[in-house]
């Protein structure tokens, strides 16, 4: 049966923001808003203290905002949550993070993901401090299992260490396949935000969490599913297709 394509309506076209605001004033993740408010409060108080010291001792004290403003702007940039348009198809596995595809290899997945004890292809996406750190669901489906593991301040660029703070997520996709996603915090700071619960419904491309200041996302593909990305390729969360699974009407299996 031939699939029909529904062309965008005028309302769809009007909803696409092509103005400068899309690039210079992106939305901010709610976790970022809290931190930005804290940063603003800290430097506001510090600037006030410096002015009091200057008045008491009759000396010139520079404004704290000479440091505070650049730091605030960088933090705003770091916690940005730009709009993304996710490709349609329940058989697609979409990149959950922005960054560089830093590794593609076969690995036995952690037992907490409930993906079996045979090696599966793992795609790693490395996020620098300049990447968007908001994470998006790679598939539509249901959260099968969750496991949080505290860790140390260790680099995540090119190693398979279990010393890092990490959040393990297992998702049953709507086509019957199961995939694994691991958020791994990095060297500069270790703080993973993942409010998911077991049984929660996810939609491909929707935000499910974030990692702060340099980190990595690992995706374990189902058996028999192969990457469509290459080592060194730039991945865009919610848009780049990592792999294609069997269609929903084919034989299901985990």
Report the catalytic residues.
215
Nearest 5°: phi and psi at 36?
A: -60, -40
Q: Under a CB-based contact definition with an 8 Å cutoff, are residues 29 and 207 in contact? A: yes
For the chain, how far is it from start to end, CA to CA, in angstroms? 27
Other Cβ atoms closer than 10 A to 137: 26
What whole-number distance in Å separates Cα of residue 181 and Cα of residue 152?
Answer: 20
User: Is residue 30 classed as helix, strand or coil in its secondary structure?
Assistant: helix
What residues have CB less than 8 Å from 175, skipping those under 6 apart?
A: 90, 91, 245, 246, 247, 248, 252
Exposed, middle or buried, 251 (CB in 10 Å: 0-12/13-18/19+)? Answer: exposed
DSSP label at residue 48: H
């Amino acid at each position: 049966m031939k699939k029909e394509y529904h062309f965008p309506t005028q309302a769809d076209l009007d909803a696409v923001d092509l103005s400068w605001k899309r690039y210079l004033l992106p939305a901010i993740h709610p976790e970022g808003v809290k931190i930005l408010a804290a940063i603003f409060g800290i430097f506001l108080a510090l600037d006030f203290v410096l002015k009091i010291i200057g008045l008491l001792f009759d000396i010139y004290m520079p404004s704290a905002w000479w440091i505070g403003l650049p730091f605030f702007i960088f933090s705003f940039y770091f916690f940005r949550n730009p709009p993304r348009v996710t490709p349609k198809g329940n058989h697609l596995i979409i990149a959950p993070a922005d960054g560089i595809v830093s590794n593609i290899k076969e690995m036995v997945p952690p037992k907490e993901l409930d993906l079996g004890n045979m090696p599966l292809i793992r795609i790693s996406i490395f996020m620098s401090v300049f990447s968007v750190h908001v994470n998006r669901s790679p598939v539509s489906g249901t959260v099968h299992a969750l496991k949080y593991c505290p860790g140390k301040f260790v680099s995540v660029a090119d190693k398979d260490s279990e010393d890092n703070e990490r959040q393990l997520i297992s998702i049953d996709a709507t086509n019957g396949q199961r995939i694994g996603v691991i958020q791994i915090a990095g060297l500069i700071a270790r703080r993973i935000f993942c409010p998911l619960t077991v049984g929660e419904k996810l939609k491909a491309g929707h935000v499910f969490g974030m990692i702060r200041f340099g980190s990595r996302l690992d995706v374990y593909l189902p058996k028999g599913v192969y990457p469509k990305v290459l080592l060194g390729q730039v991945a865009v969360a919610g848009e780049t297709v990592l792999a294609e699974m069997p269609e929903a009407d084919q034989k299901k299996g985990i």
